[in-house]
Amino acid sequence: MSKKKAQVHQEEEAGEAWLLPYSDLMTLLLAVFIVLFAVSKIDAQKAQQISQQFSDTVMDKSYSGGGSGQGAAAEVATQANATQTASSLNLETKSELESFLGEYELTKLQVLKEEIDTKLHDDGMDQSASTMIDMRGLVIRLNNAVFFDSGSADIKKQSEDTLMEVASLLNTVDNYIRIEGHTDNVPISRSRYPSNWELSTARAVNVVKLFINKDHFSPDKLIAVGYGEFKPIADNSTEDGRAHNRRIDIIILSSKYNKLEEPLVK
């Protein structure tokens, strides 16, 4: 009897099946780096939100058992870009602002913001003035050093023209406009104002007077407020922080804040 030749079973070649999980891993690593880049530019609350959404996305992809990590990376990248865009408005995201202000009002404030940004740029004021949008409305932030001498509430003559150009744009809106004076926490010395309360209030009042006298603003549209050193936006323990805190904020109030300023008796 002839012996049958024993069949030798060779191992099947692995092929390129390993490339799919490897590419998924690389894509998800890229997504992690995108998240790290994004959180380095935003506040902790937004970082936590992105981290949670990233975790949820990865878990969903893992449990579904299908698709590659490219979908997860795209979603994380989209969220990171949206958050960075929102940070140019302020801490709130654009969706939060739209929900609070309404799409129409947010668009109107953005158009006004672009006009003011152009005016400030043309006047070479980019380093001493900035704008942003938050829940209160459109905020125009002015560095005190450009508009006032130290310890003084008198507006510098060379800065009046810039203020008046800004005022001419603001006088086209019906919203109330709040002028806020702010200082650092260094006690006043060699000044006719006994404290930062009086100095910040006097500066706000003088901006209001300028708007009324030179641009014929209706007085009932303007509010002057002095906060002294008690609403800082930076660390008062450093010179750079104190410089940021010495400021005038001109706020075109959003409709919801606008209602708070309406007369109690009409």
**pLDDT tens sequence across 120-137:** 999 888 888 999 999 999
Smallest Cα–Cα separation from 68: which of 38, 26, 97?
26
In this prediction, residue 249 carries a pLDDT of 98
Residue ranges per domain, the chain? 19-87, 94-260
Whether the per-residue pLDDT at 5 is higher than 60: the answer is no
pLDDT for 73: 44
Smallest CA-to-CA distance from 128 within 152, 167, 159, 102 is with: 159
Instruction: Assess contact for 80 and 38: CB atoms under 8 A.
Output: yes
Q: For 34-71, write each residue's pLDDT tens digit.
A: 767 665 554 555 555 555 554 444 444 433 344 444 44
CA dihedral (49, 252, 149, 213) in degrees, to 10, reads 180
H or E element: which one contains 141? strand 137-143
pLDDT digits (tens, 9 = 90+) for 151-208: 999 999 988 988 998 898 898 888 999 999 999 999 998 889 999 999 999 999 999 9
User: Do the strands 222-226 and 177-182 form a parallel or antiparallel pair, or are they unpaired?
Assistant: parallel
Does 144 have pLDDT greater than 50? yes
Q: Is residue 250 predicted with pLDDT exceeding 90?
A: yes
Structure tokens at 206: 């003088």
Q: Running DSSP on this structure, what letter comes out for residue 245? A: H
The residue to which tokens 């400030």 are assigned = 120
∠ CA 178-184-189, nearest 5°, is 115
The fold for domain 94-260 equals 60s Ribosomal Protein L30; Chain: A; (3.30.1330)
pLDDT for the residue 142: 95
Residue 158 to residue 236: CA distance in whole angstroms: 28
Whole-angstrom distance, CA of residue 179 vs CA of residue 206: 10
End-to-end CA distance of the chain: 118
- Whether the Cβ atoms of residue 144 and residue 247 lie closer than 8 Å to each other: yes
Residue 150 pLDDT > 80: yes
> What is the reported pLDDT for 39?
56
Q: Which residue did the predictor score with more confidence, 126 or 2?
A: 126
pLDDT (0 to 100) of residue 46 = 53
